[in-house]
Amino acid sequence: MSDVLGTTHLLGIDALGTADIELIFRTADGFKEVLSRPIKKVPSLRDVTIANLFFENSTRTRVSFELAEKRLSADVVNFSSSSSSTKKGETLVDTVNNILAMKVDMVVMRHPDPGAAVFLSRHANARIINAGDGTHAHPTQALLDAYSIREKLGKVNGVKVAIVGDILHSRVALSNIQCLQKLGAEVMLCGPSTLMPKYVEHLGVRVTNNLDEALKWCDVANMLRIQLERQGGDGIANFPSLREYAMLYGLDGNRYRQIGKEVVIMHPGPINRGVEITSEVADGANSIILDQVENGVAIRMAVLFLLASGLERGSANK
Ligand code: CP
What average pLDDT score do residues 142-152 get? Answer: 98
pLDDT band per the 50, 70, 90 thresholds, residue 318: very low
Residue 269 in contact with ligand 1 by CB distance below 6 A: yes
Q: How many CA atoms lie within 13 A of 183 on its CB side?
A: 29
pLDDT, one tens digit per residue, over 117-127 is 999 999 988 99
Measured CA distances, 83 to 17, 88, 124, 296, 301 (Å) = 38, 10, 22, 26, 27
**Same structural domain for residues 219 and 287?**
yes
Is the N-terminal amide bond of 268 cis, ω within 30° of 0? no
**Same structural domain for residues 112 and 205?**
no
**Same structural domain for residues 276 and 187?**
yes
pLDDT band per the 50, 70, 90 thresholds, residue 240: confident
**Same structural domain for residues 133 and 189?**
no
Per-residue pLDDT at 232: 64
Residue 292 in contact with ligand 1 by CB distance below 6 A: no
Strands 264-266 and 206-208, bridge-based pairing: unpaired
SS (H, E, C) the chain: CCCCCCCCCECCHHHCCHHHHHHHHHHHHHHHHHHCCCCCCCCCCCCCEEEEEECCCCCHHHHHHHHHHHHCCCEEEEEEHHHCHHHHCCCHHHHHHHHHCCCCCEEEEEECCCCHHHHHHHHCCCEEEEEEECCCECHHHHHHHHHHHHHHHCCCCCCEEEEECCCCCCHHHHHHHHHHHHCCCEEEEECCHHHCCHHHHHCCCEEECCHHHHHHHCCEEEECCCCHHHCCCCCCCCCCCHHHHHHHHCECHHHHHHHCCCCEEECCCCCCECCCECHHHHCCCCECHHHHHHHHHHHHHHHHHHHCCCCCCCCCCC
The Cα–Cα gap between 223 and 165 comes to 6
What's the 289 CA to ligand 1 centre distance in angstroms? 12
Ligand 1 pocket test: which of 56, 61, 169 has the largest number of ligand atoms within 8 Å of its C-beta? Answer: 61
- pLDDT above 90 as % of the chain: 80
**Same structural domain for residues 110 and 234?**
no
pLDDT, one tens digit per residue, over 168-226 is 999 999 999 999 999 999 999 999 999 999 999 999 999 999 999 999 999 999 999 98
Per-residue pLDDT at 226: 86
Per-residue pLDDT at 230: 66
Residue 139 in contact with ligand 1 by CB distance below 6 A: no
The Cα–Cα gap between 265 and 282 comes to 7
Q: Is residue 285 part of a domain?
A: yes
**Same structural domain for residues 286 and 143?**
yes
Going 101 to 14 to 151 to 187, the CA torsion angle's sign is positive
The Cα–Cα gap between 286 and 257 comes to 11
**Same structural domain for residues 125 and 167?**
no
pLDDT, one tens digit per residue, over 43-89 is 999 999 999 999 999 999 999 999 999 999 999 999 888 767 777 77
Q: For residue 123, what is the domain's CATH number?
A: 3.40.50.1370
Q: Is residue 318 part of a domain?
A: no
- Inform me whether the pLDDT recorded for 316 exceeds 80: no
Structural domain boundaries, residue 237: 139-293
**Total domains in the fold of the chain:** 2
Residue type, position 134, single letter: G
Q: Is residue 268 part of a domain?
A: yes
**Same structural domain for residues 195 and 69?**
no
The Cα–Cα gap between 195 and 205 comes to 15
**Same structural domain for residues 90 and 76?**
yes
Count how many residues are written for the chain.
Answer: 318
**Same structural domain for residues 36 and 161?**
no
**Same structural domain for residues 259 and 188?**
yes
**Same structural domain for residues 152 and 237?**
yes
Does the predicted model carry a pTM greater than 0.85?
yes
The Cα–Cα gap between 95 and 85 comes to 8
Q: Which atom of ligand 1 is nearest to the CA of 62?
A: 8
Q: Which atom of ligand 1 is nearest to the CA of 269?
A: 1
Residue 268 in contact with ligand 1 by CB distance below 6 A: yes
